[in-house]
């Protein structure tokens, strides 16, 4: 029982480890763990699009892969070490190298043929058109066993 609890705790810690080692996101872009880049990503909703932006400076555009599967938009990329630089002795090394694999869950009803992706000046921008869904007010009916009548509820509001 104790061994199972420790395994569960270790699994839980591993899930939150990146957040615990960088709780304020100060490492952000430029950090890497286990050969994986951690570039910053943002998602913005406009009237007509969801805009997903990912910072990928120094990434070869040919290594960027954007896919949509069901409602999951996945971005994969790799930043490789320049062979000419790799031959030297590093005195300071802060660049992050490795792979990136990030995913964003999108609302249902996305038309995959209307997605666009553009990589410019180190920023990948994926535009996902969406229909402007408006909130619909649902009337609530009150039963007679609830203690207050329909008239009392209207008077209270």
Dihedral class, residue 114 (left if φ above 0, else alpha if ψ from -120 to 50, else beta): alpha
- Integer angstrom CA distances of residue 124 from 9, 24, 26, 27, 91: 37, 24, 21, 20, 31
Question: Tens digits of per-residue pLDDT, 63-104?
Answer: 999 999 988 999 999 988 877 776 778 788 788 888 988 999
CATH number, domain 27-132, options 2.60.40.790, 3.40.50.880, 1.10.10.10, 3.40.250.10:
2.60.40.790
Q: Phi, psi (5° rounding) for residue 125?
A: -125, 120
The pLDDT value recorded for residue 8 is 61
pTM score: 0.61
The pLDDT value recorded for residue 122 is 92
Q: Which helix (H) or strand (E) holds 23?
A: none
């Amino acid at each position: 029982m104790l061994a199972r609890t420790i395994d569960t705790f270790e699994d839980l810690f591993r899930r939150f480890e990146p957040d615990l080692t960088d709780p304020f996101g100060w490492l952000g872009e430029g950090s890497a763990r286990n050969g994986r880049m951690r570039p910053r990503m943002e998602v913005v909703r406009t009237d007509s699009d969801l805009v997903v932006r990912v910072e990928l400076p120094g990434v070869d555009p040919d290594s960027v892969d954007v896919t949509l599967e069901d409602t999951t938009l996945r971005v994969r990329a790799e930043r490789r070490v320049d062979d000419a630089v790799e031959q030297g002795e590093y005195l300071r090394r802060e660049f992050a190298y490795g792979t990136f694999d990030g995913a964003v869950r999108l609302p249902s009803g996305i038309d995959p043929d209307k997605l666009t992706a553009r990589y410019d000046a180190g920023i990948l921008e994926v535009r996902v058109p969406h229909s402007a869904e408006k909130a619909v007010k649902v009337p609530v009916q009150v039963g007679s066993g609830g203690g207050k009548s329909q008239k009392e509820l209207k008077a209270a509001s």
